[in-house]
């Protein structure tokens, strides 16, 4: 099986369904409430696992009930416990999510223990990264820890994928360590200050990224590299909740690239995974299995 190492966050998600997303200062009476397990790192690790990869997830959990819940859940799914670190001083991260009738969402995250993942802890995991074919990271853990993971991976010849979410300024020194950058439209704009997505992606390539894959939701995904650009159309599904769709895309993309697939084939596979995730409410429990992803790919 292809091996993927994910460095990132793990949260407990609290989600409320609403008729419409609130404006500033507005109180909206919600409908259904449900608790699920999420965090971009955990979501992407589970997505890669369900897509068919062997996955190791390096994360920092709190020494509280939520942390225990996450550890039991992730190990039950098949992720090794050894790389799930514990922080006795901070609570496990939580996310507060609102989802409207069209499936659009608003999310606020209290990172908790995620913010205590250190450079030294990443260094101690260098042998795990060296054994992988793909390293996948996001920005819900401290940037120095992400940077160290990228450095180790590049030194060992491991393909690097960075999902720059939530968006924050990234220097060319970081971008040059990234083989594949996977922002959504807003993140691409925030990283470059450019409103045009294609222009933003070209700017990021000019700053050192090998390939930029911009996820565009219902418009699909845009690939930009030094060879040019290509738009990959979306799969048409009945969207209920867009939560974790981007995470499903990133995890499936990592799995496909770890298998040695071309970038084009990997994006189609990832597009299908992202689309399937939107057909159910929740985060990790909505991430599709490999057979369902392949079936949707064949339907085109």
Positions marked catalytic: 247
User: In 16-142, which residue ranges form alpha helices assigned H by DSSP?
Assistant: 40-51, 65-77, 119-124, 126-130
The 105-110 sheet, strands edge to edge: 33-38, 11-17, 93-99, 105-110
Residue pair 128/5 in contact (Cβ under 8 Å)? The answer is yes
Listed in sequence order, the residues at least 6 apart from 39 whose beta carbon sits closer than 8 Å to its beta carbon are: 8, 9, 10, 11, 59, 93, 95, 114, 140
Tokens 């010849």 appear where? 157
- The runs of H, that is alpha helices, within the chain are 40-51, 65-77, 119-124, 126-130, 143-155, 172-175, 185-192, 197-206, 245-258, 263-277, 290-299
């Amino acid at each position: 099986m292809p091996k993927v190492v994910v460095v990132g966050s793990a949260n407990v998600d609290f989600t409320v369904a609403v008729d419409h997303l609130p404006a500033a200062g507005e109180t909206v009476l919600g409908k259904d409430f449900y608790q699920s397990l999420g965090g971009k790192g955990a979501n992407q690790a589970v997505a890669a696992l369900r897509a068919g990869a062997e996955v190791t997830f390096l994360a920092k959990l709190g020494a509280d009930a939520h942390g225990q819940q996450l550890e039991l859940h992730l190990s039950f799914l098949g992720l090794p416990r050894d790389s799930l670190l514990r922080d006795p001083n901070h609570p496990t991260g939580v996310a507060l999510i609102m989802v409207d009738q069209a499936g659009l969402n608003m999310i606020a995250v209290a990172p908790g223990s995620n913010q205590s993942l250190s450079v030294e802890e990443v260094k101690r995991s260098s042998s795990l990264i060296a054994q992988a074919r793909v390293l996948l990271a996001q920005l819900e853990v401290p940037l120095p820890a992400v940077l160290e993971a990228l450095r180790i991976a590049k030194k060992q010849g491991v393909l690097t994928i960075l999902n720059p979410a939530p968006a924050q300024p990234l220097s060319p020194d970081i971008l040059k360590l990234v083989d594949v950058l996977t922002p959504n439209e807003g993140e691409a704009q925030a990283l470059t200050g450019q409103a045009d997505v294609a222009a933003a992606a070209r700017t990021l390539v000019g700053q050192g990224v090998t390939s930029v894959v911009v996820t565009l939701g219902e418009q699909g995904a845009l690939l930009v590299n030094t060879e040019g650009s290509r738009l990959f159309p979306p799969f048409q599904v009945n969207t209920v909740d867009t939560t974790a769709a981007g995470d499903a895309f990133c995890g499936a993309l990592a799995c496909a690239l770890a298998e040695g697939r071309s970038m084009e084939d990997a994006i189609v596979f990832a597009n299908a995974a992202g689309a399937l995730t939107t057909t159910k409410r929740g985060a990790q429990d909505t991430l599709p299995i490999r057979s369902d992803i392949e079936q949707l790919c064949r339907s085109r």
